[in-house]
């Protein structure tokens, strides 16, 4: 079970003599099992909120909670463990390791978690099959299409059995067919396995499939719309 909560969170960046308020006194609760998108134009605060939720960034003020546990006072090492064991990330640029095969990119998370190697194949191969990657496990990223690389990234995010998956513009580099296929796959994982997804995106395809759409403007929530289906 997983939830993300932000209480009166602000994030201010310094740019020379200017202060840029990326997030402004924002309250947010994303509950377990949600399939939610943070939507809005560039500069609205989407990626900043995702980074705060994942402990990749710290708020200037306010408090961030993961599963009811505050992230604010945790050390960098503690936040690294949170990201390793409780949070899965899917990045716009895939962030796969180019010298490793698809299988090895996914396996790397299990190695970091200290899972015995004897258990790796039993976890990885069913997930590869579920994501339509059978037969591609020994290809390196450069030998895969954009859609295939993003599916490897999804598998890497899921293999550690995280509480929540954070996806930053996951369809930005994909053609329409690959994007729709990937979104349907993630929706299926949400429906069947209860995986919580929180996206940042301005892609209408993501907005259309999300159950809840949180629209941001100037670092604030402009609209929060839950969908019935």
Question: For residue range 112-153, what is the model confidence (pLDDT) as tens digits?
Answer: 999 999 999 999 999 898 888 899 999 999 999 988 998 899
Torsion sign over Cα 210, 215, 216, 221? negative
Q: Does residue 24 lie in a domain region?
A: no
| pLDDT given for residue 180 in this prediction | 87
Q: Does residue 10 lie in a domain region?
A: no
Query: 8: helix, coil or strand?
Result: strand
Domain count within the chain = 1
Contact 172/139 with Cβ under 8 angstroms?
Answer: no
Q: Does residue 2 lie in a domain region?
A: no
Structure tokens that stand for 151 in this block: 């599916």
**Which CATH number fits the domain that encloses residue 169?**
3.40.50.300
Question: For residue range 167-186, what is the model confidence (pLDDT) as tens digits?
Answer: 998 888 778 888 888 888 88
Q: Does residue 14 lie in a domain region?
A: no
How many C-beta atoms lie closer than 10 Å to residue 65's C-beta? 16
| pLDDT given for residue 144 in this prediction | 93
Q: Does residue 5 lie in a domain region?
A: no
**Angle between the 102-113 and 120-130 helix axes, to the nearest 10 degrees?**
130
Q: Does residue 145 lie in a domain region?
A: yes
Q: Does residue 98 lie in a domain region?
A: yes
Could you list the residue range(s) of the whole structural domain that residue 113 is in?
A: 31-59+72-226
Distance CA 47, CA 39 (A): 10
Q: Does residue 115 lie in a domain region?
A: yes
Contact 133/105 with Cβ under 8 angstroms?
Answer: no
The segments of the chain whose pLDDT lies below 50 read: 228-229
Distance CA 212, CA 229 (A): 10
Contact 183/171 with Cβ under 8 angstroms?
Answer: yes
């Amino acid at each position: 079970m997983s939830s993300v909560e932000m209480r009166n969170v602000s994030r201010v960046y310094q740019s020379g003599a200017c202060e840029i308020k990326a997030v402004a006194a924002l309250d947010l609760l994303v509950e377990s099992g949600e399939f939610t998108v943070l939507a809005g134009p560039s500069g609205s605060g989407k990626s900043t909120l995702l980074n705060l939720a994942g402990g990749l960034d710290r708020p200037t003020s306010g408090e961030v909670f993961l599963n009811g546990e505050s992230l604010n006072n945790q050390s960098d090492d503690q936040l690294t463990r949170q990201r390793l064991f409780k949070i899965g990330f899917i990045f716009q640029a895939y962030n796969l390791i180019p010298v490793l095969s698809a299988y090895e990119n996914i396996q790397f998370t299990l190695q970091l978690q200290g899972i015995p190697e004897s258990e790796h194949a039993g976890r990885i191969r069913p997930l590869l099959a579920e994501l339509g990657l059978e037969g591609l496990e020994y290809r390196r990223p450069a030998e895969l299409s954009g859609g295939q690389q993003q599916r490897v990234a999804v598998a890497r995010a899921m293999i550690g059995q995280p509480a929540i998956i954070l996806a930053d513009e996951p369809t930005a580099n994909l053609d329409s067919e690959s994007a729709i296929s990937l979104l349907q796959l993630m929706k299926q994982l949400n429906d069947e396995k209860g995986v919580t997804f929180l996206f940042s995106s301005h892609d209408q395809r993501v907005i259309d499939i999300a159950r809840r759409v949180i629209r941001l403007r100037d670092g604030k929530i402009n609209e929060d719309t839950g969908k019935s289906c």
